[in-house]
Amino acid sequence: MKIVTVIGARPQFIKACMVSKRLRQDPSIQEVLVHTGQHYNANMSDVFFTQLNIPKPDYHLGIGSGSHGEQTGKMLIELEQVFIKEKPDAVLVYGDTNSTIAGSLASSKLHIPIIHVESGLRSFNRYMPEEINRIVTDHLSSLLFCPSQAAANQLKNEGITKGVYATGDIMYDAVLHYKAKAEKQSAILSQLNLTLKEYYVATIHRAENTDDLTRLSAIMEGLSKLGKKVILPLHPRTKKQLQQLNAPIFTDKSSLLFIDPLDYFDMLALMSQAKAIVTDSGGVQKEAYMLRIPCVTLRDETEWIETVEAKWNRLADARNPTAILKAVQLAKEQSTYPALFGDGHSADQIYTIIKKNFPS
């Protein structure tokens, strides 16, 4: 069996490292790895392949940045040529990025079955490009691997019942596999002179928060009032937008510490010892839960509603500095910790189901 796997962004590298490792243990499966180049910064791409032992991509499309239409269009053109050349039995995509939707559309036009890892998520906000990507991909896919039962239930509500499996979250596999190694090998806490549970970690990258400078300024004002050091690994988009702001929060006396994007081990170690995490990232919300760290999400809604219902995650109005401050102050570890995302063996389940559905 030949599978073409399409990846292009940080969260996909983390997910793919676990699934690809399992698939390649089977000599009857040939995996062809395609990197679209959606994330091309060395700290957000190359280092993950090295650190997580992800095989070198068979194809690197080098698409780079651009508008959603431009980026997706370029990927469609290039991926179609790869699929025609490789003639795979299936195409494997992850999550909800432009790489995901491009891989799904190119596959469907060529009548190639699509395997979607991380199916069934919905924020119910169609202004989010990711929401459109995940809805379209789910409705095109032949095998749909859901990170939670709630995600599988959502697909059923949309009339998708065939090929749906609640396998747990593949990122939980990665957290369990790499957490101890990350904490042992990473020196990020000592490098930043941080005390355990005496700092916050924040990640901001979504267009809704970064492209509106008034909204971005409100977020930074709220973070600056937390009373403890706030570490912000900066996405390139966020860094570019912050350079346009000239506010007191950027003085040397500020509690905000802006740093370059971190590799997986450093980020995992940094998050695992934080007092709380503030983010607009879907992946970081999950990782916070998996690490049992309270989380505040700077969005009006989240596709990871289970974490909110479990009270480990809180939504906060990103336009209101006071609301951000209050949400973080209220964020705390809970006495209960439901197993929302499986048992850490999602890769094994995904492999078994693929083999069953695509016998060699």
Give the pLDDT confidence of 23-74 residue by residue, as tens digits.
999 999 999 999 998 755 555 567 888 888 898 999 999 887 778 889 999 9
Active site residue 116: no
Instruction: Choose, from 35, 39, 116, 205, the residue flagged as catalytic.
Output: 205
Residue showing tokens 């089977």: 26
Question: Domain 2-169+342-357: which topology?
Answer: Rossmann fold (3.40.50)
Q: Quick one: which of 85, 86, 62 has its CA closest to 75?
A: 62
Record: fold of 177-330: Rossmann fold (3.40.50)
Tell me what pLDDT residue 42 has.
Answer: 52
The residue extents of the domains of the chain are 2-169+342-357, 177-330
Sign of the four-CA dihedral 225, 231, 237, 243: positive
Which of these, 68, 316, 69, lies nearest to 211 by C-alpha position?
68
Same topology between domain 2-169+342-357 and domain 177-330 = yes
pLDDT at residue 246, as a whole number: 64
CB 252 within 8 Å of CB 222 = no
Residues of the chain with pLDDT under 70: 39-45, 246-253, 360
Give pLDDT, residue 211. Answer: 87
CB contact burial 174-199 (16+ within 10 A = b; e otherwise)? bbebbbeebeeebebbeeeebeeeeb
> Is the CB of residue 299 less than 8 Å from the CB of residue 280?
yes
Composition of the chain by helix, strand, coil, percent to 5: 45, 15, 40
What is the number of helices (H) and of strands (E) in the chain?
A: 16, 13
Question: Which residues are paired to 299 by β-bridges?
Answer: none
pLDDT digits (tens, 9 = 90+) for 224-266: 999 899 999 998 888 888 888 765 555 555 789 999 999 999 9
Query: Whole-prediction pTM value?
Result: 0.90
Residue 17: phi, psi to the nearest 5?
Answer: -60, -35
